[in-house]
C-alpha cells in the first residue's frame, strides 16, 4: 500500500515541477516567473521527499522533515531577495494590470533625511 502512495507522490511532485517549468517559460516577467519557480521548487521537492519518506521507512522521516522545514524557510527568503534585486534593477512588470504597490521608485536609494534648503 505504501508503494502506491509513494508512487502517487512522485507523480504529483513531478507534475508540480513540470508546471513550474512551464510557468517559467510562459509567464511574461521576472516577478511572475519567480513566483512559479519558487512554488514549484518547494511543493515539487517536498512531494518527492515525502514520497521518499513513505517508501523508505522511519529512518528517513527525520531527515525529510528537516529538509522540508529548511526549504519552507529558505525558499521565500531567496525569492524575496531575487524579487528585490529585480526591482532595484528596474525590471518592468509586463503582466497586464500589474500595479507596483511598494511605494518606492525602483533603483532609488533608501529614503534619507531631507536635503537642507
| CA gap 105, 33 in Å, rounded | 21
pTM: 0.77
pLDDT at 112 over 60: no
Mean pLDDT, the chain, rounded, equals: 87
pLDDT category of residue 59 using cuts at 50, 70 and 90: confident
> pLDDT value at position 105?
61
Nearest to 36 by CA among 52, 49, 50, 25: 25
Place of cell 510562459: 26
pLDDT, mean of residues 59-78:
94
> pLDDT value at position 88?
87
pLDDT category of residue 117 using cuts at 50, 70 and 90: low
pLDDT at 57 over 90: no
Torsion 33-36-40-43 (CA) sign: positive
Amino acid at each position: 500500500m505504501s508503494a502506491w502512495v509513494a508512487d502517487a507522490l512522485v507523480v504529483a511532485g513531478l507534475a508540480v515541477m513540470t508546471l513550474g517549468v512551464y510557468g517559467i517559460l510562459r509567464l511574461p516577467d521576472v516577478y511572475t516567473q519567480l513566483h512559479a519557480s519558487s512554488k514549484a521548487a518547494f511543493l515539487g521537492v517536498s512531494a518527492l521527499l515525502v514520497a521518499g519518506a513513505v517508501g523508505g521507512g522511519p529512518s528517513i522521516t527525520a531527515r525529510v522533515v528537516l529538509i522540508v522545514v529548511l526549504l519552507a524557510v529558505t525558499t521565500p527568503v531567496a525569492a524575496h531577495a531575487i524579487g528585490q534585486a529585480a526591482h532595484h534593477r528596474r525590471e518592468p512588470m509586463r503582466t497586464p494590470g500589474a500595479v507596483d504597490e511598494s511605494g518606492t521608485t525602483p533603483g532609488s536609494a533608501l529614503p534619507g533625511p531631507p536635503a537642507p534648503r
